[in-house]
Structure 1
């Protein structure tokens, strides 16, 4: 990704960066946000969905239990940019966020791309 994208990354209020997830204690309630890069619903997971979000600092693993999926189905299925509020879980060196609330914040992608498009437009205009 171009550097301009990282410097203008839209930060939802109170979202914790992936690189800072080691700081809060286990079971802390927090908010994370990022691009949805993976959704998995293994047949053996009894209705659990696993989502991987990516922000400018790394990736975050999200666990979505069936009841939460049913409540936030549209956001889970269609969001390209997602904000998740939940509880931090650590086990065997792996950190997950157990989702309690899921929001589709895909409209913020326009803000993410605007600086790059503006920069590209200025370069083209100057040639």
Structure 2
């Protein structure tokens, strides 16, 4: 899958390299939207990029703010903080952007996708561990 990738988005395969509490952005196709009745308004998303999947937790207030993107978006960029529970990492959403319009570029004959997973750069561990935000690269 060759998706257009916003330059500030971390690939799913590198999520395990990010320390808990770090603020990052990911982008991916929406595979699953879940809003269990027992979750008190919490929404769960599963996003997929060409390297893997990212589980996203969206608290009620964040969902209300970005409702349209969560419900209608096919390709989303989610900014938030990484949390870890055992071996499982997920992203707690703070900002959600519908970037589905980038999918239209795939049909454009002049489209050149971003870096392939093999060339994609992992986050700079020293920068993340020093408390710097990956969000500083976001527009």
User: For 2:107 and 2:32, how far apart are their aligned partners in 1?
Assistant: 21
Is 1:43 equivalent to 2:43 in the alignment? no
Structure 1 position 113, deviation (Å): 4.1
Which of 18, 28, 53 is the equivalent residue of 1:24?
18
SS at match of 1:51: strand
SS at match of 2:41: coil
Query: What is the 5 A alignment of 1:100-115?
Result: 100-114=94-108
SS at match of 2:33: strand
Structure with the bigger RCO (C-alpha within 8 Å, sep 6+) is 2
The runs of 5 or more residues in structure 1 that have no matched partner are 116-127
Query: What is the 5 A alignment of 1:29-108?
Result: 29-108=23-102
Deviations 1:66-125 (A, max 9, x none): 00001001001000000000000110211100000000000000123446xxxxxxxxxx
The runs of 5 or more residues in structure 2 that have no matched partner are 110-139
Aligned residues: 109
Which of 9, 18, 25 is the equivalent residue of 1:15?
9
For normalisation by structure 1, the TM-score amounts to 0.82
User: For 1:112 and 1:32, how far apart are their aligned partners in 2?
Assistant: 19
User: For 1:20 and 1:71, how far apart are their aligned partners in 2?
Assistant: 28
User: For 2:61 and 2:54, how far apart are their aligned partners in 1?
Assistant: 21
Deviations 1:5-30 (A, max 9, x none): 43xx2111210000000111111000
User: For 1:60 and 1:112, how far apart are their aligned partners in 2?
Assistant: 22
SS at match of 1:13: coil
